[in-house]
Amino acid sequence: MTDLTRLTAVEVTDLLRIGAVSPLECLDALEKRIAAVNAPVNALVTLCFGRAREHAERLMELPAHDRGRLAGLPVPIKDLCDVAGVRSTQGSLIFKDNIATDSDLVVKHLEAEGGIVYAMSNTPEFGAGAHTFNEVFGITRNPRDTRLSASGSSGGAAVALATGMAWVAHGSDLGGSLRNPASFCGVTGMRPSPGRVAASVFSKIDGTLGVEGPMARNVADLALLFDAMVGTEQGDPLSLPREDVSYLAAARSGWKPKRVAVSRDLGISPVDPEIAGIVLAAARKLEAEGVIVEEAHPDLADAMNCFQTLRAIGYATGMRQMLLDHRDKLKPEVIWNIEKGLKLTGEEIARAEAQRGNLFRRMQAFLETYDLLLCPSTIVPPFPVEQRYPAHCNGVEFSSYIDWLLIVGTITLCACPAISIPCGFTASNMPVGLQVVAPNRGEAKLLAGAAFIENVLGLGAGTPIDPRVTHSA
């Protein structure tokens, strides 16, 4: 049989459903691939194959039609979520020896749908920042050039996908953490609308900035995982009921947008000229398919202040006590974000909440004219791993570690689902991601449109690559 790791997730799941392969065979294939390629990229930092095989054996006792939507497909979990019985660290020295006693909601939901957890993927400390490194496990490296960043914070997940150590992967996204690493690594990552994927509540009960979501090597595989992630859970008061729709069917529907908007910078952010040119060229290819493509974007001028303020509130709410108890174990960017939140005035918070409401309304009105909005997923190509974050872009200096994330953070503020798909390569052969945005709760349209664009661009094959090791060990 062909090496299972080279098949798509949809193909493997089809084989699982008819009994042509077993979940145990899938785990064997992954364990072999991880042993071969993980060391130079450091994507999967904790393995739990013993637990996974026990779960697989229990699942195999059930009839095939009772094994859930994933039917025994293995899934790695980002190391910000707890998995019962597994080392779950959040990339922090505070939790470096933590063995979770219970699983987070998203993990329980995936396992109930036949997903088998076999590994934890690397993340920055507490998911802070879009470069995957921490003091517990070290740096995750870009498999196309290991001197460069894989981005983040779902960097380990993206690298595992690109190198064939996963068919699909769980991630999360506040400031582009599913979209940024998808762009840097040449895979696909989607931020869903708030509430689509149920998540455990730890601090802010009505938080809508951070969400859980799917990653894969192509749009159809991502839709398969998303079908297994959605649905309401009692433990999440914002979780939405499952729609009467298959997202995989939506991705396969052949729907074509009539009119799309494309923007090189959303009017708010510097963008590397090469990145902007690749994104615009990709959008123009849709015109040959009869799609109207216009350069446009809504008024998003308040986004920087709004994003910085509301993000800081989240850090202050969720991590104030950690700052008091463990300041010496927190990285400086996390300390800065918590303290920024604690210093905010009521007037500043009120202004940011009002700005977010205005941004949401403007974006929804804009997307009544256009089926989709296209723009870059990241504003720079992959940067050297020694940098903590990009300090400047196209002549603009950044004042914080999150300034360079505004082009994705703004879409977060607008509560829109958004997906990053590969759209081309730089002159140095590094991937560039196209961010595709749909109206709030428009995931079916988003996945259908992304699949159409993926097909037009011809970049959806998603064949795993072997790491190109360019750094000194």
Instruction: State the catalytic residues.
Output: 78, 153, 177
Instruction: Give the pair of three-digit tokens for residue 229.
Output: 């992630």
CA pair distance 199, 139, nearest whole angstrom = 27
CA pair distance 43, 65, nearest whole angstrom = 33
Identify each DSSP E strand in 145-300 by its residue range: 168-173, 188-191, 211-216, 259-262, 292-295
Instruction: Give the pair of three-digit tokens for residue 152.
Output: 């983040």
CA pair distance 346, 352, nearest whole angstrom = 10
Q: Which amino acid is at 372?
A: L
Instruction: Give the pair of three-digit tokens for residue 105.
Output: 């909601």
CA pair distance 451, 149, nearest whole angstrom = 27
In sequence order, the 6+-apart residues with CB closer than 8 A to the CB of 238 are 194, 195, 206, 208
CA pair distance 196, 239, nearest whole angstrom = 6
Burial of 169 (0-12, 13-18, 19+ CB in 10 A): buried
Residue among 383, 384, 366 nearest 375 (CA) = 366
Instruction: Give the chain's largest Cα–Cα span.
Output: 64
Strands 418-425 and 396-397: what pairing? unpaired
Instruction: Give the pair of three-digit tokens for residue 160.
Output: 């595992």
CB neighbours of residue 386 within 10 Å:
9
CA pair distance 115, 9, nearest whole angstrom = 12
Instruction: Give the pair of three-digit tokens for residue 308.
Output: 């910085």
CA-CA distances (angstroms) from residue 108 to 103, 114, 199, 223, 241? 6, 10, 10, 19, 16
Strands 74-78 and 116-121: what pairing? parallel
In sequence order, the 6+-apart residues with CB closer than 8 A to the CB of 273 are 394
Residue 375 CA, chain-centre distance (Å), reads 17
Q: Which amino acid is at 26?
A: C
Identify each DSSP E strand in 263-384 by its residue range: 292-295, 372-376
